[in-house]
Chain A
């Protein structure tokens, strides 16, 4: 599964808008993840996960920055996220099922902030892109 040229164009151009609110988007996606899927909080026992917490904001920024790195190297996501892939495989070891959950919450967040841009085409491109990112991040698990 790889992105068509049209899909890459959609993602890169939408990212221009999304990245202007990167921190808000990242933090909100995590808030949605922890509200809808409380089991995901088990990976953050060391965090204050209340809405507005500094740790949540910092981590949300980190997550969106990584997505941004993937967008900037959209022709080579595996290369761009290689270190992160190793981190998830050897250190974090987040169960693969959770990448779908976070991807969904990212889509919900983007849809709620940018409804006019989040057309059916854009939705399809983003869903595909995030599943590629997820696949790269779990590639080295075993």
Chain B
């Protein structure tokens, strides 16, 4: 189980408070689909994903990105119980969505990169390390119920 120090929790929560979840969510999902085009396999019904600008501007991508990142907010509020928090979502991603857990790791890393580009110098190595722990914890929690 991932353990967060008080400093890590404060650092993560502090940064999260400044994140525009709607914007960042769309950007994160968009970049996942641009940088790792094979991830588009899960979004056949999203319409035009034919170029980076089409993807980044696609309203379905933005809406779904917002949904995903809003859910990520639950992780920030429940860092001590990620597995419990994401149990139902884990079952969904396995049984209904059939998503390879590797994709959670890819998305987590894309999120970290976006935080770096939004917060620049403020996104120190220590802050990155705390966030890497969180995204890894979320990825593991989402894969936990797979069978």
Contacts and interface: CB of A to CB of B under 8 A. Distances in A.
Q: Tell whether A and B belong to one assembly.
A: yes
Interface of A: 28, 31-32, 34-37, 51, 104, 107-109, 111-113, 115, 118-121, 123-124, 127
A124 B34 contact: yes
Contacts of A36: 125, 128-129, 132
B8 to A, nearest CB: 12
B113 interface: yes
Q: Which 3 A-B pairs have the closest CB atoms?
A: A112-B116, A115-B117, A111-B117
Nearest to B55: A120
Determine the main DSSP class of B at the interface with A: helix
Given A37-B132, A121-B52, 13 more contacts: A35-B129, A36-B125, A104-B112, A108-B116, A115-B117, A115-B118, A120-B34, A120-B56, A121-B34, A123-B34, A123-B35, A124-B31, A124-B52
Given A36-B128, A104-B109, A112 B117 contact: yes
Contact of B123 (A34, A37, A112, A121): A112
A115 B35 contact: no
Contacts of B34: 120-121, 123-124
Contacts of B31: 120, 123-124
Determine the main DSSP class of A at the interface with B: helix
Of B56, B114, B120, B125, which is in contact with the most chain A CB atoms at under 10 Å from its CB? B125
B96 interface: no
B92 to A, nearest CB: 27
B41 interface: no
Contacts of B35: 120, 123-124, 127
Contacts of A28: 125
Contacts of A123: 31, 34-35, 113
